[in-house]
Amino acid sequence: MSVLIRISSGPLSSERLPHVLNPAPAASLQAPARKSQSNSSSDHAENISAPAMQQVGATVVFEGVVRANEAGRLIRALSYEAYEPMATNSLTELARDILCKHALIAITVEHSRGEVAAGERSFRLAIDCAHRKEALAAMDEFIDRMKRDVPIWKSPIYI
């Protein structure tokens, strides 16, 4: 099982992060959340084992894109503010909880902070699992709970 959380400045790259950073025993899931983070990005990874990867039958990726209008007004960008380290820690806890509850294999979360222009990606959630139904249910629950509980705020920057 693997959990990888990254909050980084500006729009997300169009490339997904690899789920597997360093193959390691599944016990790493019990490692404590990293409390520190640099100014430029916060990045928290737990690792996935090779046997677990062989069970992956479905990968579902959700990408949130900044839309050109917000509540009827045209915007140039959204600016995201993350309260760290709580934002990274709560995303990590949420990911672990969802991973266990839905019996997933890996969750990778990327979220922007700072300015993201209209049309660019600000959020990506990738879920690896054996079957599809769990992944879709997990994705829906993850995003609902993230919006409610993870201290990241967005502010519109109007044209």
45-64: contacts with its own copies (CB under 8 A) = 53-64
Instruction: Measure the CA–CA gap between 76 and 33, rounded to whole angstroms.
Output: 35
Half-sphere exposure of 54 toward its Cβ, with a 13 Å CA cutoff? 3
Query: What's the one-letter identity of residue 23?
Result: P
Shortest spacing between CB 123 and other proteins, in angstroms: 5
Instruction: Measure the CA–CA gap between 111 and 27, rounded to whole angstroms.
Output: 26
Q: Which does 55 bind (CB under 5 to 8 A by kind): other proteins, its own copies, none?
A: its own copies
Nearer to its own copies by Cβ, of 24 and 143: the residue is 143
Give the residue, chosen from 64, 68, 136, 141, that forms a contact with other proteins under the rule CB under 8 A.
64
Which tokens in the block code for residue 12? 């997300």
CA distances for 47 relative to 23, 29, 65, 88, 107, angstroms: 6, 7, 28, 17, 10
User: Which range binds other proteins by CB under 8 A, 38-46, 69-77, 78-86, 100-108?
Assistant: 78-86
Shortest spacing between CB 35 and its own copies, in angstroms: 30
Q: Which does 136 bind (CB under 5 to 8 A by kind): its own copies, other proteins, none?
A: its own copies
Nearer to other proteins by Cβ, of 24 and 157: the residue is 157
For 68, left (φ over 0), alpha (ψ -120 to 50), or beta?
alpha
Residues found near other proteins in the complex (CB under 8 A): 64, 80-81, 83, 85-86, 89, 111, 122-123, 143, 146-155
